[in-house]
A = this chain, B = another copy of it.
Amino acid sequence: MDITLEQAEKIVAAAKTKAKEIDTLMNIAVVDRGVHLVAFARMDGAWLGSLDIAIKKAKTAKLFNINTGDIGALSQPGASLYNIELSNGGLISFPGGVPVKNTAGEIIGAIGVSGSSVENDHAVAEAGSLAL
């Protein structure tokens, strides 16, 4: 099963609601199982540089079926996946990317959020991922 546009839009809407709730301006991207964009929204005034980061976070989360921040722990100097960020056209390994599951628990895509602290980015991504 792949994510539908209706599901992706529900996720983006939930992420926007959470972003406003914590007073942040976010870029929000949702990708499918093949890491291709399904839906995207950039809130007015959000950092322009976060556009690419939001998309890369969503891709990274789906490429490895993992929260992006979990990769960052392994990609530091001396760690086992040092500089893995250079693969796949550029990964983002700090928090803000979260896999999206359907009600059966299968991963059907991922959400990436960027525009604030990594804690806020992750909180908004998680809120989005739980919308289904």
Chain A residues numbered 74-132 whose CB sits less than 8 Å from any CB in chain B: 75-78, 80-94, 117-118
Interface secondary structure of A, over-half rule: loop
Please, which residues of chain B bring their CB within 8 A of the CB of A5? 41-44
CB-based contact B86/A82 at 8 Å: no
CB-based contact B94/A49 at 8 Å: no
Copy tally for this chain in the complex stands at 4
A contact residues, total (Cβ < 8 Å): 53
CB-based contact B41/A65 at 8 Å: no
CB-based contact B94/A81 at 8 Å: yes
Please, which residues of chain B bring their CB within 8 A of the CB of A56? 87
Please, which residues of chain B bring their CB within 8 A of the CB of A4? 44
Chain A residues numbered 45-69 whose CB sits less than 8 Å from any CB in chain B: 47-53, 56, 60, 62-65
CB-based contact B82/A83 at 8 Å: no
A sample of 10 cross-chain residue pairs with beta-carbon separation below 8 angstroms, ordered by A number, consists of: A5-B42, A8-B41, A34-B35, A37-B40, A47-B65, A48-B64, A75-B82, A76-B82, A83-B85, A87-B90
A residues apposed to B, CB below 8 Å: 4-6, 8-9, 32-44, 47-53, 56, 60, 62-65, 72, 75-78, 80-94, 117-118
